Amino acid sequence: MRTTHGNTPGSGQAAIAEPKLGIPGRVRACLFDLDGVLTETAAVHAKAWQRVFDAFLSERARASGKPFVPFDVVRDYDLYVDGKPRDDGTRAMLGSRGINLPEGSADDPPTAATVHALGERKNAIFLELLRKDGVQPYPGSVRYVQAVRRAGLRTAVVSSSKNCRDVLLAAGIADLFDARVDGITADEQQLRGKPAPDTYLAAARALATATPREAAVFEDALAGVEAGRAGKFGFVVGVDRVGQTDALRRHGADVVVTDLATLMEAR
């Protein structure tokens, strides 16, 4: 478990959520997804996946003589890879096209036709784009997390990404979180990825200040919203950046917003 030691608000007293936060008063901890909720990296992930899958699928189409159907950065990304561990997303996307590849291993060359190699290619492209273009946090999300901490609530970031720490540091928001559960944590503790609730439950344990019922989950991914509901968390906030409000509600969000700052305007 990775914990950070920023300026933690409060002094051990039970925290009561302020009404202006737009969450139930029983909430004592807030658990935030990273990509698409805190930082503008979901689009970077989608672009990296697009480059990997389009190259793979176009080559496969040429070899088979079948039509090439490119990766859809909205539909395919949301349904198959968003919020999931890298290999799970690779497997799900390939499965949607009726493709079954060997799992492979860390010894695979980058050009290997395996689940692991495709995932590693995606990660290399993502890091390249991150170095080239940088990453920005959503201003409304930063204001909201700051308000949460002023109210005395504990905070954690929960991500399937193994690059979570690097993204937080690049965005300048690492000190806003008391704990971090990411892809590295999941491997170390053998936690199932979203839509299983394991990583969110691990974050609640890391904070040690709230039961799942006393914690709120903030997610933009359908798989992440499902994880919040499966873990029986007290409140699940869907963050709609791409026009999927209805889908987020169907998958378990109690409320859907386009920006976290609007929760502070809720009455």
Q: Strand 179-181 vs strand 154-158: parallel, antiparallel, or unpaired?
A: parallel
Partner residues linked to 239 by β-bridges: 257
SS3 50: helix
33 carries an active-site annotation? yes
The number of beta carbons lying within 10 Å of the beta carbon of residue 246 is 10
Measured in residues, the chain has a length of 267
b/e per residue, 70-100, with b = 16+ CB within 10 A? ebebeebbbbbbbbbbbbbbbbebbeeeeee
Quick one: 194 exposed, middle or buried, by C-beta within 10 A (0-12, 13-18, 19+)?
buried
Q: How many CA atoms are closer than 13 Å to the CA of 179, on its beta-carbon side? A: 22
Residue carrying structure tokens 């036709």 = 113
Measured distance CA(176)–CA(173) in Å, rounded: 6
Catalytic residues, by residue number, are 33, 35
